[in-house]
Amino acid sequence: MPRPIEALVHVDALAHNLARARAAAPDARLWAVVKANAYGHGIARAYEGLRGADGFALLDLAEAERIRELGWRGPVLLLEGCFEPRDLELCSRLDLWHVVHCAEQIDWLAAHKTERPQRVFLKMNSGMNRLGFVPGAFRAAYARLAALPQVDEISLMTHFSDADGARGIAHQLAAFEATAADLPGERSLANSAAILRHGLRTEVRNDWVRAGILAYGSAPDFPAHDIRHWGLEPAMTLRSRLIATQQLQPGDTVGYGSTYRAEQAMRIGIVACGYADGYPRHAGTDTPVLVDGVRTGTVGRVSMDMLAVDLTPVPDAGIGSEVTLWGRGPGGSLLAIDDVALAAGTIGYELMCAVAPRVPMRVAD
Ligand SMILES: *Cc1c(COP(=O)(O)O)cnc(C)c1O
C-alpha cells in the first residue's frame, strides 16, 4: 500500500466559488487566476472547475500553453507580461493578451515583427510599488503604445495592496482615476479581496475582475472574515491516516525538542504527513486537524514525514483512522485551510501552493 497521504481537488467547489465571484461583481467579466499551477491545484484539474470563467490569467508561458492544450480558445492574460522579446512570438502564436508594465516591454513590442496586432493591458503602479508605470508616466506609455502598429486594443489595469485590510482601496482608486479617467479602454482592477469586499462599487466592478484565492476556497481577508461568511467552499483536501498511536503518561513529551509535555494521561495519534509533504513546520501545538471528522489539535513539532495529534476527543480512533489536514472530512465535516494557516503564521495561499510533489493529487470522485 502506498503511504496513505493524498490531496483531492474538488471541481464542484471551484465552480461554486467562481459563481460567488460572479454574484459579487455581476456586470464584470471574470478572469480565473491560475498562476502557480492553479494555486497548487494543477492547471488541468482546476480547468474542469474554472472553465465557466471568461478568461484565464497566469504568469508562466508554459502554463499558457497548457491552457491552450486543454482546449481553451478564449482570452488568456499574462499577468507579468513578457520576460524577453521573443516571448512576443508565443503571444502571437497562442493569441495571448499580455500586461505591459515597463518601458522595456514597449521597446520589445515596437521592434516586434507581427502580422496581427496584440492586445495589451497597460498596468499602472497606483501605490503597490511592484509592477507598473507610476501615474506621472502612465499617459506617455499609453500614447507610445497607441501609436504602435503592433498593438491592438489597450486595456488599463492596476493592482491593490490593501483590498483585504483596513487601508482599503480608495487611495489607489483615486490615483488611478486622476490619471486614467478619460483614457479609452477596458479596465481591470479587482483581485479576490476587492471583488468580495468592494465588488458592488461601480468603480471596482468594471470590465474585468481577477478572481484568484477566492476560487480555491480561502478567504482573502481571513481572519476578519472566513469562507463561511463569503459562502466559499474548500477546493482542496489534504488527507492522510493514523499510522500509530501512543499512550502518554503525565510528564511524557512528544517529538523533536520535547516541545509538548503531557499534563495528564492521554492518547495521541501519529499521522503520515510532515513538512516534506508541504504541511507547515511552523504549525505549533493545537493547530486544528480532523480525525475521523472530529476536530482536534496537533501536539509537538511537525517532523519531516509525521505529525502527532491529540486523540482525546476521538477515543475510538486507531491505526487507519482518516485524518483531514485541511478541506473536506468524512460525514460532511470541514476544516478551512485558513484555520491551519493562521496557526502556522501564514496564509491559505502559501499552504495550497506548497503541497509537495510527493503527495499524489487527483480530482475527487
Ligand atoms: C495573483 C494576482 C491576482 C489574484 O489575487 P487573489 O488575491 O488571489 O485574488 C490578481 N491580480 C494580479 C495582478 C495577481 O498577480
Taken in order of first residue, the domains within the chain and their CATH numbers are: 11-221 (3.20.20.10), 236-363 (2.40.37.10)
CA distance 346 to 230: 20
Does ligand 1 have an atom closer than 6 angstroms to the CB of 150? no
Lowest mean pLDDT among 15-19, 135-139, 204-208, 217-221: 204-208
Write out the DSSP string of 224-270.
TS-HHHHT---SEEEEEEEEEEEEE-TT-EESGGG-EE-SS-EEEEE
Would you say residue 205 has pLDDT above 70?
no
CA distance 29 to 86: 29
pLDDT for position 52: 96
In the chain the first and final C-alpha atoms are separated, in Å, by 20
- pLDDT category, 203, cuts 50, 70, 90? low
Active-site choice (123, 256, 260, 275) = 256
Measured from the CA of 79, which atom of ligand 1 is nearest? 13
Cell of 311: 486523540
Torsion, CA 212, CA 215, CA 221, CA 223, rounded to 10 = -140
> How far away, in angstroms, is 317 Cα from ligand 1 center?
41
pLDDT for position 311: 98
Quick one: which of 35, 157, 18, 19 has its CA closest to 101?
157
Residue type, 100: V
CA distance 72 to 279: 33
- pLDDT category, 202, cuts 50, 70, 90? low
- pLDDT category, 1, cuts 50, 70, 90? confident
Measured from the CA of 213, which atom of ligand 1 is nearest? 8
> How far away, in angstroms, is 61 Cα from ligand 1 center?
17
Helix axes 87-94, 61-69, angle to 10 degrees: 20
- Residue 336, judged by CB atoms within 10 A of its CB (0-12, 13-18, 19+), counts as buried
pLDDT for position 2: 86
Does ligand 1 have an atom closer than 6 angstroms to the CB of 66? no
Residues 84-112 as b or e (16 or more Cβ within 10 Å = b): eeebbebbbeebbbbbbbbeebbebbeeb
Interval 42-99: pLDDT, tens: 999 999 999 999 999 999 999 999 999 999 999 999 999 999 999 999 999 999 999 9
CA distance 291 to 311: 8
Measured from the CA of 131, which atom of ligand 1 is nearest? 13
- The 3-state DSSP class for residue 53 equals coil
pLDDT for position 152: 96
> How far away, in angstroms, is 305 Cα from ligand 1 center?
32
User: Catalytic site residue 35?
Assistant: yes
> How far away, in angstroms, is 312 Cα from ligand 1 center?
41
> How far away, in angstroms, is 33 Cα from ligand 1 center?
7
Quick one: which of 138, 81, 151 has its CA closest to 110?
151
CA distance 82 to 118: 12
User: Catalytic site residue 142?
Assistant: no
CA distance 228 to 296: 20
- pLDDT category, 115, cuts 50, 70, 90? confident
Residue in 37, 39, 59, 79 to alter for ligand 1 test, most ligand atoms within 8 A of Cβ: 79
Torsion, CA 42, CA 45, CA 48, CA 52, rounded to 10 = -20
18-23: average pLDDT: 95
In the chain, the percentage of residues whose pLDDT exceeds 90 is 95
pLDDT for position 198: 86
Does ligand 1 have an atom closer than 6 angstroms to the CB of 79? yes
pLDDT for position 206: 76
pLDDT for position 204: 60
pLDDT for position 277: 98
Does ligand 1 have an atom closer than 6 angstroms to the CB of 158? no
- The 3-state DSSP class for residue 132 equals coil
Measured from the CA of 192, which atom of ligand 1 is nearest? 9
Q: Are 21 and 211 in contact (CB under 8 A)?
A: yes
273: CB partners within 8 A, 6+ apart? 5, 238, 240, 279, 305, 306, 307, 323, 325
pLDDT for position 317: 98
Cell of 317: 480512533
Give the torsion sign (CA, 305, 217, 32, 110).
Answer: negative
Report which of residues 268 and 199 the model is more confident about: 268
> How far away, in angstroms, is 365 Cα from ligand 1 center?
29
The pTM assigned to this predicted structure is: 0.96
CA distance 199 to 205: 5
Residue in 17, 31, 33 to alter for ligand 1 test, most ligand atoms within 8 A of Cβ: 33
Quick one: which of 336, 83, 356 has its CA closest to 229?
336
Task: Please give the biggest Cα pair distance in the chain.
Answer: 77
Would you say residue 284 has pLDDT above 90?
yes
Report which protein residue has its CA nearest ligand 1's atom 10: 191
Pairing between β-strand 29-33 and β-strand 6-9 as defined by DSSP bridges: unpaired
